[in-house]
Amino acid sequence: MRAARPELQSPIQGSLISVIPGNSAPGRTRSERVAEIVPPQGWPKFDFRELWAYRGLLLLLVWRDVKSRYSQTVLGAGWAVLQPVLTMVVFTVIFGRLARMPSDGVPYSVFSLAALVPWTYFSTSLTGSSNSLIQSRSLLTKVYFPRLLIPAASILATLVDFTIAFGVLMLVMLGFGIVPHAESAWMVPAVLVILSMTAMGAGSWLAALNVQYHDVRHVSPFLVQIWMYASPIVYPLSLVPEAYRPIYALNPLAGALAGFRAALLGTPGPTWSQMGLSLLGSLAIFVAGILYFRHTERVFADVA
């Protein structure tokens, strides 16, 4: 009597792998097995257990991105400092000196740098994750693994740059005699979570589109530039009219950057309702981006 072929849950969410005995195909030995992967139907779910099972691969991808970022460069990790610092100098001259932009009672250079450090982390994460699949197309066509690891690795690798730039920000603050309050230290990791979720959602969405439509990579820098001026970087949150602040707070970066600046500099920060709206906007972007990525990842290997 021939035993029924066993069916195993595949790494792809909702699909089945059928293990077929080796003598079912000509030229195969009995010890060989054929894995028949059936793609899921409809909108797949976000499987955290699958991502956790591939955590070792995630760490390897993060280390690969970190090495490629600093290899064969003159300044190396200095680029993580140079970008926000030079932007701070330009903003200080244009917006601080010429436009006389208010800075909530602190020197404009520190005011702008306190927002540029987390903004640079977000913009670099968003740009890197949106291009990550195109840069890793050779992996997409060779072996199965959760494709979400590729944009996630790009975002996690950028944390190295943020850590370096954050240390420089602390030195600049001390140079101006500004000491952050210890009771506000919890705001820094909270802001990082909001920024990472937003970058992951928007980056995954753009990465999935970029695989199918390569001109998306030309849209991403324009989107990042618009997002920067729609966030409280060169101006304080208090400059936004009171009537528009609930709508403005739906921008995840509005509450995150204003909260980060308030925690370090003691400037007026967002209210709890505004932070809640920013968190809600971040969650919406994260869920929508991940679901779209998972829905379209079945065609990545065919069109990459």
Of the candidates 200, 195, 193, the residue with the CA atom closest to the CA atom of residue 294: 200
Same domain, 21 and 141: no
Same domain, 4 and 121: no
Same domain, 37 and 58: no
- Number of other CB atoms surrounding residue 159 within 10 Å: 16
Same domain, 135 and 9: no
Domain containing 156 equals 50-216+223-296
Helix, coil or strand: residue 166 = helix
* Two tokens, residue 75: 């300044």
pLDDT at position 44 is 62
Run of H or E residues at 82:
helix 79-91
pLDDT at position 157 is 93
Task: Tell whether 25 is covered by a domain.
Answer: yes
Question: DSSP string of 199-260?
Answer: HHHHHHHHHHHHHH-TTHHHHHHHHHHHHHHTSSSSS-GGGS-GGGHHHHTTSHHHHHHHHH
Same domain, 9 and 157: no
Same domain, 35 and 57: no
Task: Tell whether 117 is covered by a domain.
Answer: yes
Same domain, 24 and 57: no
Per-residue pLDDT of the chain (304 residues; tens, 9 = 90+): 444 444 434 444 444 333 444 444 455 454 555 555 555 555 566 677 888 888 898 999 999 888 887 776 666 667 778 889 999 999 999 999 999 999 998 999 999 999 999 999 999 999 999 988 888 877 877 777 888 999 999 999 999 999 999 999 999 999 999 988 777 788 899 999 999 999 999 999 999 998 888 778 888 889 999 999 999 999 999 899 999 999 999 999 999 999 999 999 988 889 999 999 999 999 999 999 999 998 888 777 665 5
Indicate the pTM of the whole model: 0.83
Of the candidates 107, 79, 105, the residue with the CA atom closest to the CA atom of residue 91: 107
pLDDT at position 93 is 95
DSSP annotation of 104 reads T
Task: Tell whether 302 is covered by a domain.
Answer: no
Same domain, 282 and 157: yes
Same domain, 34 and 98: no
Task: Tell whether 301 is covered by a domain.
Answer: no
Is the CB of residue 83 less than 8 Å from the CB of residue 51? no
Same domain, 105 and 6: no
Q: Is the dihedral of CA 284, 144, 297, 226 positive or negative?
A: positive
**Number of structural domains, the chain?**
2
pLDDT at position 303 is 57
